Amino acid sequence: MALAFDPSKFTVAKAKPLPVILLLDVSLSMSGGKIDSLNTAVAEMLASFQGSEGSETEIDVAVITFGGTVELAQPLASARTIQWTGLSTSGNTPMGTALRMAKAMIEDKAVVPSRAYRPTVVLVSDGQPTDDWQQPLDDFVSNGRSSKCDRMALAIGGDANAEVLEKFIAGTDYPLFFAKDAAGLQKYFQFVTMSVTVRTKSQDANVIPGTAAVGIEAPTIDSRVETPASTDDDQGYW
């Protein structure tokens, strides 16, 4: 007896998502060249992700901003579907609330499913948190699914709170990265981009590549020095 034809048995395996969650400081201190450079760097990252997705891995990106208020500027979605319009600045630096939002997103299996690869979470700030950040940060790095994320952080300029950002990356193999100018910020996002891209091409995308495997060097906090007051002749400084 011939078997009945069942087209539902001929399905293509769905690509597994690799979430990338950006926590971006858009407080007023990020105005001018900083926010322009940040917008450019994120746009370049998304373009790179769109060209690196394979049949087995899909890079999903979410953007949470903190500046006066905390907003989900970009819900978690495939990089290839995102139309980046850029960010503007306002207000103070409620980093703690941004961390709570990011944790809630990661813990929700309807948003970040169990089949997803380990998320990469990127924290960028140029200042001091202005809300209660200690407990949200401790919860993020120590408890639940968020504690298993790949975490990176970038301090922008001399006023960034290195102590807070270093606590965010505690337990990872990453240094605290530092950007004093547009070139440094761009280099950092190139590092993040390549780190994620390397994972999509590895046999196990849950394995976090070492800095040597990434192949891009970005400035770290050890290079932070006081920069001279900017003038009209400065090249690359904010």
Reported as a single tens digit per residue, the pLDDT across 9-68 is 776 667 899 999 999 999 999 999 999 999 999 999 999 998 876 668 899 999 999 999
User: What's the pLDDT band for 213 if we cut at 50, 70, 90?
Assistant: confident
Examine the pLDDT at 237 and tell me if it is beyond 70.
Answer: no
Question: Angle CA(197)–CA(154)–CA(161) in degrees, nearest 5?
Answer: 160
Q: Cα separations (Å) of 50 from 58, 81, 193, 206, 208? A: 9, 8, 11, 20, 20
The one-letter amino acid at 150: D
Residue 12: per-residue pLDDT: 67
Do the beta carbons of residue 135 and residue 167 sit within 8 Å?
no
- Token pair recorded at residue 224: 């932070």
The one-letter amino acid at 21: I
For tokens 């503007």, the residue is: 88
CA proximity to 126, closest of 76, 77, 170, 177: 177
- Token pair recorded at residue 91: 């207000």
Residue 229: per-residue pLDDT: 46
Residue 152: per-residue pLDDT: 97
Examine the pLDDT at 5 and tell me if it is beyond 80.
Answer: yes
Q: How far apart are CA 108 and CA 126, in angstroms?
A: 29
Examine the pLDDT at 190 and tell me if it is beyond 80.
Answer: yes
Backbone angles phi, psi at 183, to 5 degrees: -65, -40
Helix 33-52, helix 182-201: angle, nearest 10: 20
Residue 124 CB neighbour total at 10 angstroms = 27
DSSP classification of residue 38:
H
Residue 140: per-residue pLDDT: 98
- Token pair recorded at residue 191: 């590092």
The residue among 12 and 83 whose pLDDT is bigger is: 83
CA proximity to 197, closest of 15, 20, 12, 13: 20
Do the beta carbons of residue 196 and residue 49 sit within 8 Å?
yes
Backbone angles phi, psi at 38, to 5 degrees: -65, -45
For 119-171, what is each residue's pLDDT tens digit? 999 999 999 999 999 999 999 999 999 999 999 999 999 999 999 999 999 99
For 100-107, what is the mean pLDDT? 98
CA proximity to 183, closest of 146, 156, 205, 144: 156
List of domains in the chain: 16-223 (3.40.50.410)
Residue 55: per-residue pLDDT: 63
User: What's the pLDDT band for 236 if we cut at 50, 70, 90?
Assistant: low
- Token pair recorded at residue 46: 């998304």
Residue 234: per-residue pLDDT: 44
Residue 232: per-residue pLDDT: 41
Examine the pLDDT at 174 and tell me if it is beyond 90.
Answer: yes
For 198-211, what is each residue's pLDDT tens digit? 998 888 888 888 88
Residue 147: per-residue pLDDT: 97
The residue among 22 and 6 whose pLDDT is bigger is: 22
